[in-house]
A = this chain, B = another copy of it.
Amino acid sequence: MNDARDKGLTLNPKYDRDGLITAVVTDAESGDVLMVAHMNEEALGLTVQTGFAHFWSRSRQSLWKKGETSGHMLQVRDMRIDCDQDAVWVKAVPAGPTCHTGARSCFFRRIGPEGLTAVDVLE
């Protein structure tokens, strides 16, 4: 345990070997997890500064303002960082479906003993 990082009040993200931290976005109203993505230092800074979620796209290797093309932006209501500062929790108001499949949340399938089942995340 690194006490300063784990308990202090200095922002000191623990970026991984690719320069990224994990970002979890929940719906500020329902609390549902909408998506999980990654932020580099620039994306984290822009998210804090602008109030709209920015990420680092690992597949495209580029900065990505969520909703830049789809219009389905994520307006930030609150941001938290975890104990070891390698993950952030973004509470956001989504302007539309968050998932590229058109689902409200990327987590639209339940894992069960028999495999996956589609679920309505509005339930």
Contact = CB atoms under 8 A, between A and B. Distances in A.
A60 interface: no
Nearest to A21: B36
A118 interface: yes
A15 interface: no
Contacts of A82: 35-36, 99, 106-107
A95 interface: no
A53 interface: no
Interface residues of A, number: 46
Interface of A: 1, 6-11, 22, 24, 26, 30-33, 35-36, 48-49, 78-84, 86-89, 99-101, 103, 106-113, 115-119
Given A26-B31, A88-B111, 17 more contacts: A6-B100, A7-B101, A11-B111, A11-B115, A24-B24, A24-B33, A30-B31, A48-B111, A79-B110, A79-B111, A80-B109, A80-B110, A80-B111, A81-B111, A82-B107, A83-B99, A87-B106
